[in-house]
Chain A
Amino acid sequence: MSPLLLVGPALSVELGLAPALALLGLALVVADRRGALARAAFAEGSALGRLGPGLRRVSAAALVAIAAILVAIAARTVAAVTIAFPATIGVLGLMIGIAAIAAALPDGQHRLRLAVAVAGALAIPWVAAVGEHFEAGAVDARGSATSGPILGIHPFQVLSVVVDDHGPFDVPINDYVEPDGARGYDPAAFAVALELALHRIGELQFPDGPARAREAFADATVEAIELPPVRERLDSPASEAPEPHFVVTSGTHGQRSRVEFVCPGLREDPRGRGEDAVMERMCPARHAGEGSAGLGVTGRWTGYTEARGTSASASADSSAGPAATIRRVAAASPPRRPSRPWR
């Protein structure tokens, strides 16, 4: 059933909807008919009973292998989907509950069991909605990025932001940004301006969807914060004053919720960005003058801290890493010269 339902729509794109639906209907009717035929044919004592012992053993081996493959794929599909969408974990609990109720009902209550199963199926959207509500309320449900300290920048530097893997969008800053607000923006005003810019990106770039992208930008928030200073150089005394930073939070939640800063002026690649964008994150030298180094949001200087949206327990999602992955985008270091092998 699963591949049938999954792949039925594939035909629609190719040839229109009608052939796919017709084929799907035909498949169901014929499968049912063949099932009825087989029930009659393979009953004990008829066709199945006449099979020789050798064929019985080989068939049994083949069937064990087929069952194992199908069970493994079904189980892996369940695992993959519950990991990717943690809100669906409750559905498995619902399944166990239905099994428990059905087991507890006395024999012969077939209709009652069927009613329980149908009620359970109707409860699936509710369980999913509750799970989603729970996910949305989780700690660190939304992905965010905390900038490096704002040390003060000149006009027309550019901030390049990627939210939920949509982007990058370059946001030019048209005035000074000073930690004390002496000229141009102070950090709080800058946060307001950046938030407005992100909302505008959502409206302009994704008016017709994807809804996730529009939500990510249109509901994004930017907050100005102050953090204790970090002593980065040993040859000068540590500053006492707290350092201003800003935090960009995605408008969506869950493990796909993520905010990144990248080097501005990236070429638009129709193939999309690569798996590991660390090298793209680091601005080439020609951007050092006009890039976004002053905001501390590229890999070239102080780096930024990224917190991905929590993915609940994320117990088995090795590709996404542990929940709420916090990582420090490392400052650029000169490439290491490959060492010669010792002879």
Chain B
Amino acid sequence: MIGLGLVFAARRGRTSRAAEAVEAWSAAALIGAAIVGALVLLWTLHAPRVGAFERPPAAMDPRGWLPLAALFAGLPELTHAAGSGAGRGPRFAAAALLVVATVAVAGSPALIPTLEPLLGLSAGPAGVFDAWILGVGEQVHRLLGIDRAIAEACVAAVVVAGAAGLCVRMSRSLGGVVLTLLPGPGRLRPLATYGAIAGLAAALCVSRQSDGGALLLGPALLLSATVVAAWVTHASLGRRRAATGILLLCSAAATLWAFAAAWSQGASPGPLRGVYLGLGAALTLVLAGVALLGRPRSGP
């Protein structure tokens, strides 16, 4: 899968067209599933109670906050950053919202352990993700009247399509931003960039101490917000720079908080996890420091 993401990473030519088609396919599958789900919900006028969500959670269950996390993480900016166009920096209000929400999300240290089972990274039949698919499949079977096994397979297939599209999309767009950030001659640079992404991802896949990378998902989402905040701070001037600097510090604090929360979580503690988290925290600090202390280039 990582290899596929890497293969589709080229930004021009045939592989780029193929990657665009795969992304469109994945998005169409997700949209179709969402439409079917919405129709079923409207038809029956009740929310399905499935698997992991069946038990009413505590009032401030962090899972309920996750849409906010996805909403306010910096990924939309990052994935669009390599595009073309002209204009000013992102609006102040958007950056403010971003940081306030990331603080709110990071305020819940329970965010991290709930992510791991939701993503079903324990592949055994006891995985909660399986329970989620089985639960939704059962609801689809009951509401649409199709065979139970086929309903389960369809739900799982949509999940596979969505995750595959996400894999291609992330490796392409974030890798593209890295290439924009590090311009230079030579054909080796894209190869090195995508190779680094694929190598790190492969290492994370077999990493038990980070639960296959799941432990790092929350910090990564927040780190993406910090990156965007750092760019905004670096590019802004005058009074606005002070305000964006404060926002950047808040964002960095939220990210560090997430790293600290991840420190105390995880199934199998060990020294390597500390190395991951320490490197991530150091990266956050350096990012904030460089953005605050550095001066933007003059001119466009």
Within 8 A of B (CB), among A234-287: 252-256, 275
Tell me how far the C-beta of B49 lies from the nearest C-beta in chain A, rounded to whole angstroms. 7
In the assembly, what is the distance between CA of A74 and CA of B163, in Å?
A: 5
Contacts of B94 in A (CB 8 A): 34, 37
Q: Does A331 contact B (CB under 8 A)?
A: no
In the assembly, what is the distance between CA of A254 and CA of B216, in Å?
A: 33
Of B22, B29, B46, B122, which contacts A99 at CB under 8 A? Answer: B22
Contacts of A14 in B (CB 8 A): 56-57, 59, 61, 64
Of B30, B153, B198, B200, which contacts A85 at CB under 8 A? Answer: B153
Q: Is the CB of B149 within 8 A of A70?
A: no
Tell me how far the C-beta of B267 lies from the nearest C-beta in chain A, rounded to whole angstroms. 13
Q: Does B278 contact A (CB under 8 A)?
A: no
Given A45-B86, A252-B149, A27–B129 Cβ distance below 8 Å? Answer: no
Contacts of B216 in A (CB 8 A): 69
Tell me how far the C-beta of A111 lies from the nearest C-beta in chain B, rounded to whole angstroms. 11
Interface string of B263-286 (1 = CB under 8 A from A): 000000000000000001001101
Number of interface residues of B (CB under 8 A): 146
Q: Does A189 contact B (CB under 8 A)?
A: no
Q: Is the interface of A mostly helix, strand, loop or mixed?
A: helix
Q: Does B107 contact A (CB under 8 A)?
A: no
Q: Does A102 contact B (CB under 8 A)?
A: yes
Contacts of A338 in B (CB 8 A): none
Q: Is the CB of B181 within 8 A of A70?
A: no
In the assembly, what is the distance between CA of A256 and CA of B295, in Å?
A: 60
Interface string of A139-174 (1 = CB under 8 A from B): 000000000000000000000000000000000000
B219 and chain A: residue at smallest CB distance: A69
Q: Is the CB of B167 within 8 A of A78?
A: yes
Q: Is the CB of B122 within 8 A of A319?
A: yes
Contacts of A96 in B (CB 8 A): 4
Q: Is the CB of A43 within 8 A of B119?
A: no
Given A11-B64, A66-B224, A215-B148, A46–B86 Cβ distance below 8 Å? Answer: yes
In the assembly, what is the distance between CA of A92 and CA of B21, in Å?
A: 14
In the assembly, what is the distance between CA of A44 and CA of B84, in Å?
A: 7
Interface string of B105-134 (1 = CB under 8 A from A): 000000000010011111111110110111
Q: Does B253 contact A (CB under 8 A)?
A: no
Given A65-B283, A98-B25, A113-B17, A84–B118 Cβ distance below 8 Å? Answer: no
In the assembly, what is the distance between CA of A104 and CA of B234, in Å?
A: 43
In the assembly, what is the distance between CA of A208 and CA of B116, in Å?
A: 30
14 contacts between A and B (CB under 8 A): A13-B47, A17-B46, A34-B77, A42-B81, A60-B178, A60-B182, A64-B196, A81-B120, A82-B160, A92-B160, A98-B25, A121-B32, A253-B149, A319-B125
